[in-house]
Structure formats: C-alpha cells, structure tokens
Structure 1
Amino acid sequence: MRFGLFIPQGWRFDLVDVAPADQWATMLSLVHRAENQAAGEAVPGGEFAWESAWVYDHFHTTPEPSTEATHEAWSLMAAFAAATQRIRLGQMCTCMAYREPTYLAKVASTIDTISGGRLEMGIGAGWYEHEWRAYGYGFPTAGERLRALDEGVQIMSSMWRTGSSGTFEGKRYQVDGALCYPQPLQQLPVGDGGAEVPSIPLWIAGGGERKTLRIAAQHAQYTNFDGSPEGFTHKSGVLEAHCKDVGRDFGEITRSTNYNVVIGENDAEVAERLDWIEAHLRKSVPGKADREITNWRGGLLVGTPEQIVERLQGMGSRGLEYAITYFQEAAYDTSGLELFEKQVIPELQ
C-alpha cells in the first residue's frame, strides 16, 4: 500500500494555535519531515514512509467559515515544489469551476516543471456552497458542476498532451487554441499502444455513481472515494461497471481514499488523543463540534498500530492501494505521525 500525508493548512482549524507569521514555517517543516522520513526497520532498505504530501483546495475553514487562515492550495503547490526534492505533491481535490481549465492546465504544467515532474492533479466537481457564493461563483446545480468537471478534464488533458486546447465547443466551456508551454515533464501512456506523452496523473475524486465515477472510468489514473469497507467495495463495483461500459481496463485505475488517523501505543493513549481532539474542536467550532467529534471517534483508523494495520490490510483485500492520511494534531505534535510511520506503514509496504 502507498501512503500520502495531508499537510495542515488551516482549513480544518489545524493551525489555530500557530501564530500567523509562523504558519508557513510549520507547513514547510512538515513537508520536509514527510519527504525525509524513512519507514520503520521492518521495511528492507529503509524506504521512505510517505510517497506524497497533500493539501485541500478550499478558501474558508470547515465545518464553518471563520477568520482563521486557510492557505490557498495552488500557491502552496508552487511553494512546496520549489522547496522539496523528492516527495510528490497533490491537492484533494481541486474544484474544477474555481479556475478556468485552460488556466489551471497552465498552472499545473508550470508547477510540474518546477517540481521536476512530481505533481498529482486531484480534481472534482466541488461542494462547499458557502465558499462558492462568497467568492462570486454562484452555486450551479450538481449537473452543471459535473459538466464542468467532465469538459474541464478533457481540455486539460489535451493541453498537456499536445500543448494546445485545440477547438473545444462544450456546453460549459468554449476554447480555441489555448497554448500550454511548458508542457508537463511527466510522461504517461495513452491509447492501446501505450505510447507516452506529456501529462499529469489525474485523481478524479468523488463517489457519484452516475456521473463522477463514469468520468473517472474515462479519464482517471486514480480515484478517491468512500473509505468505509462496505462503501469502498460498492463504489469499486460501480467504477468497474463503468470501465467495462467505456472499454477501459479497470486495473489501470488506482483506487485511493482519505482517512483521519488517531493512533496510540495502547487504548489509554488513543483515548487521550481523542480527548485532545474533542477539546480542540469544542474550542474551534463549538456550534458544530458534536458531529465532528462523532466522525472522529467512529473513524476506521482509530486505534493501536496493530488494530490499524489489520483494518488497512482488510481494505487492501478490497482493492485499496493508496491511503491519504490526516492527523489533526500534526502542527503541534508529531508523535502520532511517528508511530504510524514506524509501526503501521512498514507492515503494509
């Protein structure tokens, strides 16, 4: 199994106790830590624990907007690209309609060259209504947002592969000859012959069964959806059916999911960390803390290293190949990260 790590950027009230002037240094230190952190002794050769570092593409905090900082995703992508050497970089996930696809393709391609070919392109239809309206995007229907995702992915893919959008006359986007130089440094196979062309891996996020997973079957190298055992199995079956329908090899798509992690050496340490998260949320989002706390306490990856390994092994048997993890306390305390790196990841790589 492969592992990614969410870097706290403020969106989930995870930098509130860091002074604004120190927040960039905190984020950068965690990216550097992830890039250089070897896995435990159980891994032959001491491979690195983390393959990738991730941020969210949001402008306001969740579960409610506030004046706490939320650092912008693509600005962070460029900064991380220039400040790192090895770790891959992604967003889970970019909202298609927040930026025109021609512009986004150009930004992503530029950052791919800055990074030396380490960018992942997480993309989705978007959902945070308050944020949409606050920034002047309105809030289109789900069908319109999904149309933007479908058409936008086609435009970006064309620009990366050929250097130009060509002429595209869609219902949502109409473009003609938008250029994309530099092209991405990464090369991906296309077509039955598997010839490689410049491109960036597409992670199409969301579990919508009629539209989103069909778009993924047509265009994605990765998907990202429900991480519960039953939900993951069901969504995988829907994706496989769409792949058969569009003539795509289901095995070409890597399935991923996101997990909140609460880990301790024993039950007492797990309970202590959960209590800290509860106190943190009651201070940060008192009006909506109950639901958030319930979600945390009921998470699949809450437990000792042995329990978490067993649950991830079970998910692996269902086809999960990539887990992207989030630690609420990472900006203040990396002991949970270290425990996960030393006693969970080596058992699954």
Structure 2
Amino acid sequence: MRFGIFIPQGWRLDLVGIDPAQQWEAMNGLAQRADTGPWESLWVYDHFHTVPVATQEATHDAWTLMSAFAASTTRIRLGQMCTCMGYRNPAYLAKVAATVDIISGGRAEMGIGGGWYEHEWRAYGYGFPEVRDRLAMLREGVEIMHQAWTTGSATLDGKYYQVDGAIVQPQPLQATQPLQATQPLQATQPQQPAGIPFWIAGGGEKVTLKVAAKYASYTNFAGSIEEFDHKRSVLHEHCAALGRDPGEITQSSNINTIVGATEAEAEERLRAVLDRLAPFVGGERRAGIEAEYRGSLGFGTPEQVAERLQERARHGLGYAIHYFPEAAYDTTGIELFETQVVPALS
C-alpha cells in the first residue's frame, strides 16, 4: 500500500489557537517533515470556509499552498483532495497546475471533483448548480485540462466552458517525461498517461466513475467494504466499455486517523481533538464527529489500524491518504503510524 498525508490548513479547524502569522510555519514544518518520511504524497483540501460550520477561523487556499510546498519540499508529491471544478476556470487551473509542476520538478497531482459545500459556493458568488450540472462541469473541465497538458493548448465549445486555443505553456514536466526516478516509493506505480495525473474524486456511478475510467490515474472513494467493492465494480465496467485496463487506475481513500499505543491512549487522543473542536461546532456536531472517528479505519492501536488497512487492501485499496487531526499540535501519533503501521503494509 502507498501512503499520503494531509497537511492541516485550517479547513477542519485544525489550526485553531495558532496565531495566523505562525500558521505557515506550522504547515511548512509538517510538509518538510513528511518530505523526509515514508509518505509518497502530501495533500490539502480545496475549501474556503471551515467545516462542519463556517467560522472566522483561517482556511488557507489550496493552490497557493501547492506552489509554496513545491518550492519548500524536494521529493514528496503534491495533491489536493480535491480541487472543486466550479471554483476556477479549467484553462486557468490547468495553467496554475502546470506552473506548480514546473516549480516542483514534476511532482504535481490533480485531485478534482464536482464540489459539494453549498455554503462557500454561495458565499463566493458561484451559485450552487444542481448535481448533474456540477458533474457535467467536471467532465468538460477535465477534458480541457487533459488537452492543455498533453498538447499545450485547449479548445472546447462546451455547455459550461468555452475555450478557444487557450495556450498552456510551458507544459507540465510530466507531459514530456516519466515520473522522476528520484522517487523510489513509486517504483511499482502503473504507467501514467502524459500530463499531471488525475485523481477523480467521488463515487457517482453514471458520471464521476465514467470520467475516471477515461482520464484518471487514481480514483478516490470510501464507504463500507460492500460499497467500496460495488464502486470498484462499476469503475471496471466503465473501463471495459472504453477498452481501458482497470489495472491502470489505482483506488485510493481518505482516512481519518488517530492512533494510540494502546486503546486507552487512542481514546485520550480522540477526546483531546473533540475538546478542541467543541467550542466551534457545538454538542450535536461534536457527537457526529466522534462517531465518524470511531468508525474510521484509522482509529485505534497500530495493530488494529494495520489489520483494517490490510483487509481493505485485499479488496483493492492501493493508496491510503491519512488525515491526522492533531498534526499541528502533536506529531507523536504520526510517528507511531510511521514506525508501526507503514512497515506492516509496505
């Protein structure tokens, strides 16, 4: 199994109590730490307002962070889980991502999805299109980015996006060369199509997984084992219809992770996280967050977490992206995961 790690950027209220002037230092320190660790990739969320409720607490912009991390790290790959297609013109986004790829030496990923957070959509003046429209925007946007990265320009007269010879030069480094040999963690990775790899996020069976079958190097969905198996089966059906080998697409999931040396320590860590969130989210939402963590593959002792991940790997999960809610305050849980969970699955 391959591993990615989320860097806290405030969206999940994971920088509260840290002075805004010091937040970049905290984020960058964690990125540089991950760069020297067993992680293949680092990730941020593409959101503007905090969750589960919008607050005045900081939420740092995903693609600005991508550019900064591109310059401050040397090895680790750089992703967003996931970029909201509706927040940026896709030709512009292709240009931004290509620049990040150049700065990073060919380490950019493109996590992309239809978007869902209605509050920030409306607050930023994007409206909130119906699901079918957001997914259609995703399909057109991915086509534009694919053209831009593989040919250097894009033209599409779509329902939602119209571009006419949009020039994206220089092209991403990954459009003209394979993944860097300096990244041994990727030695077993399937051959990727030219351009920045697409991570198509979401499990929509009629559109999202169909787009993934055509363009994705990775998918990103979760759920129970039964749900995961079903989505994977649908993806394979779409691949068969397109004549594509499904083995070219790696299945990934995001995993909320709190690891303790003992069950009691894991409980203690969970309580600390919930106590930090409680003043912002209230009792009802606090209970929901607690239930979400308790039901996660990533909650418990290293042995428990490794066992659950091994089981999910047997069902086709090839890449786990871990979110540690305490990362900005305490990295000992991450260290426990690195030293005891990663070796059990590598």
1:335 aligns with 2:332: yes
TM-score (norm 2): 0.94
1:256 deviates by: 0.2
Cα RMSD of the aligned pairs, angstroms, is 1.7
Secondary structure of the residue aligned to 2:78 is: strand
Secondary structure of the residue aligned to 1:172 is: coil
1:209 deviates by: 1.1
For 2:304 and 2:86, the matched residues in 1 are separated by 40
Tell me if structure 1 keeps the 8 A contact 2:191–2:248: no
Percent identity reads 60
Going from structure 1 to structure 2, the CA distance change for 1:109 and 1:189 (only over 3 Å counts) comes to closer
The residue type paired with residue 30 of structure 1 is L
The equivalent residue for 2:297 is 300
**1:195-214 equivalence runs, <5 A:** 198-214=194-210
Tell me if structure 2 keeps the 8 A contact 1:161–1:197: no
TM-score (norm 1): 0.93
1:169 aligns with 2:157: yes
The residue type paired with residue 117 of structure 1 is G
Displacement over 3 Å in runs of 4+: 187-190, 194-198
Going from structure 1 to structure 2, the CA distance change for 1:229 and 1:189 (only over 3 Å counts) comes to farther
**1:208-227 equivalence runs, <5 A:** 208-227=204-223
Residue among 96, 117, 124 paired with 1:128:
117
Where does structure 2 lack aligned partners over 5 or more consecutive residues?
Answer: 179-189
For 2:213 and 2:224, the matched residues in 1 are separated by 21
1:267 deviates by: 1.2
For 2:50 and 2:176, the matched residues in 1 are separated by 35
Where does structure 1 lack aligned partners over 5 or more consecutive residues?
Answer: 38-48
For 1:9 and 1:201, the matched residues in 2 are separated by 23
1:318 aligns with 2:315: yes
The equivalent residue for 1:27 is 27
The equivalent residue for 1:42 is none
For 1:6 and 1:266, the matched residues in 2 are separated by 23
For 1:180 and 1:215, the matched residues in 2 are separated by 22
Tell me if structure 2 keeps the 8 A contact 1:204–1:223: yes
Residue among 274, 277, 284 paired with 2:280:
284
For 2:17 and 2:176, the matched residues in 1 are separated by 42
1:286 deviates by: 1.2
Residue among 134, 150, 154 paired with 2:139:
150
For 1:35 and 1:284, the matched residues in 2 are separated by 32
Going from structure 1 to structure 2, the CA distance change for 1:270 and 1:188 (only over 3 Å counts) comes to farther
CA offset digits 1:302-326 (Å, max 9, x no partner)? 1111111111110110010000000
For 1:338 and 1:195, the matched residues in 2 are separated by 31
Tell me if structure 2 keeps the 8 A contact 1:185–1:198: no
1:172 deviates by: 1.1
Tell me if structure 2 keeps the 8 A contact 1:184–1:198: no
Tell me if structure 2 keeps the 8 A contact 1:205–1:224: yes
1:267 aligns with 2:263: yes
1:198 deviates by: 4.7
Secondary structure of the residue aligned to 1:344 is: helix
For 1:302 and 1:177, the matched residues in 2 are separated by 49
Deviates more, 1:169-178 or 1:27-36: 169-178
1:127 deviates by: 0.3
For 1:196 and 1:337, the matched residues in 2 are separated by 29
Going from structure 1 to structure 2, the CA distance change for 1:215 and 1:188 (only over 3 Å counts) comes to farther
The equivalent residue for 1:138 is 127
Tell me if structure 2 keeps the 8 A contact 1:226–1:235: no
User: Aligned pairs, how many?
Assistant: 334
For 2:293 and 2:73, the matched residues in 1 are separated by 31
1:228 aligns with 2:224: yes
1:255 deviates by: 0.5
Tell me if structure 2 keeps the 8 A contact 1:54–1:90: yes
The equivalent residue for 2:184 is none
For 1:227 and 1:174, the matched residues in 2 are separated by 35
